[in-house]
């Protein structure tokens, strides 16, 4: 479907149900875990065993990816022994999609029976201690569009999904964050593995130097153009959430430099470092599975 022209465009519960039922009718997999892959990070889906793959174009009511680095496929199967659904390509408001469209898949995952959502993204490093290729476990987020009133939970609330006023002080699961840091150290990622705050902006332009300095002052360690809307809807549905940012570029913080962020470099850095992230996710899922957390 095409991006809706109005921010007020909303899906009905029956449309969510129609999409979920269609998927349940077309695969025997019943995922307990959903993963959303960010720019250049769709390689996680290549590790899925016994895959059943759907193009977004074939799924009723499903939006379409328009950004390079987002394949536009939904992959069902098992990863590290865990029944999962992997989203190769997410949606963004800068593509022209309304808030409800950007987060549409999350409610589908909830209706499919998923209990945990893992979100990944490519992000710019604001923290001066971060290097390209580092991985940041998301401890918390700053929702800049949300502070301006742009929130996927705005409008009439459907109690079948969640409460009117969901708490976000525990948005990113503490147990899974701690487990990921432990697993990462065991894999030898210690110096390049961090825990920090992710800030989302509307995009599609990269940030100005003044904006990057401002975000640093707010306490942000990494910045991107996605993830938070999906997390809000996931927590509204009661899903446990865990997130990674792959640092694919260092934010430009000094005047007089010739450095510029661009999407091609983000994709290249993502491809080079994605193997680390894939190993970390697989090892984390094995640990979660062993502890009965999925």
Instruction: Tell me which residues are annotated as active site.
Output: 39, 70, 92, 94-95, 122, 225-226, 249, 263
* Residue 71 and residue 89 in contact, taking contact as beta carbons nearer than 8 Å: yes
Which of 225, 205, 199 minimizes the C-alpha distance to 138? 199
Q: Which long-range contacts (CB under 8 A, 24 or more apart) does 202-210 make?
A: 202/93, 202/94, 202/144, 202/145, 202/150, 203/92, 203/93, 203/94, 204/92, 204/94, 206/124, 206/260, 206/261, 206/262, 207/124, 207/251, 207/252, 207/261, 209/252, 209/253, 209/254, 209/255
Q: For residue 169, is it left (φ>0), alpha (ψ between -120 and 50) or beta?
A: alpha
* Residue 241 and residue 140 in contact, taking contact as beta carbons nearer than 8 Å: no
Q: How far apart are CA 98 and CA 9, in angstroms?
A: 7
């Amino acid at each position: 479907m095409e991006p809706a022209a109005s921010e007020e465009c909303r899906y009905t519960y029956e449309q969510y149900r129609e999409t979920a039922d269609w998927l349940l009718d077309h695969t025997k997999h019943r995922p307990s875990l959903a993963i959303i892959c960010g720019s250049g990070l769709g390689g996680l889906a290549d590790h899925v065993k016994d895959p059943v793959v759907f193009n977004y174009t074939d799924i009723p009511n499903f939006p379409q990816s328009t950004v390079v680095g987002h394949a536009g496929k939904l992959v069902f199967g098992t990863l590290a022994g865990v029944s999962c659904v992997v989203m190769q390509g997410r949606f963004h408001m800068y593509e022209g999609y309304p808030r409800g469209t950007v987060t549409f898949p999350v409610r589908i995952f909830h209706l499919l029976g998923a209990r945990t959502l893992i979100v990944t993204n490519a992000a710019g490093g604001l923290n001066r201690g971060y290097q390209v290729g580092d991985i940041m476990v998301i401890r918390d987020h700053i929702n800049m569009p949300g502070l301006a009133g742009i929130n996927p939970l705005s409008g009439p609330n459907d109690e079948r999904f969640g409460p009117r006023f969901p708490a976000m002080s525990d948005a990113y699961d503490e147990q899974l964050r701690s487990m990921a840091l432990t697993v990462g150290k065991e894999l030898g990622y210690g110096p390049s593995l961090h825990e920090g705050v992710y800030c989302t902006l509307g995009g599609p332009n990269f940030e100005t130097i003044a904006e990057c300095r401002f975000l640093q002052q707010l306490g942000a360690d990494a910045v991107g153009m996605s993830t938070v809307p999906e997390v809000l809807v996931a927590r509204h549905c009661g899903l446990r959430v865990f997130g990674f940012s792959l640092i694919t570029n260092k934010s430009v913080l000094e005047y007089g430099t010739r450095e510029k962020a661009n999407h091609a470099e983000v994709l290249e850095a993502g491809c080079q470092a994605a193997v680390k992230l894939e190993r970390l996710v697989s090892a984390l899922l094995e640990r979660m599975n062993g502890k009965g957390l999925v």
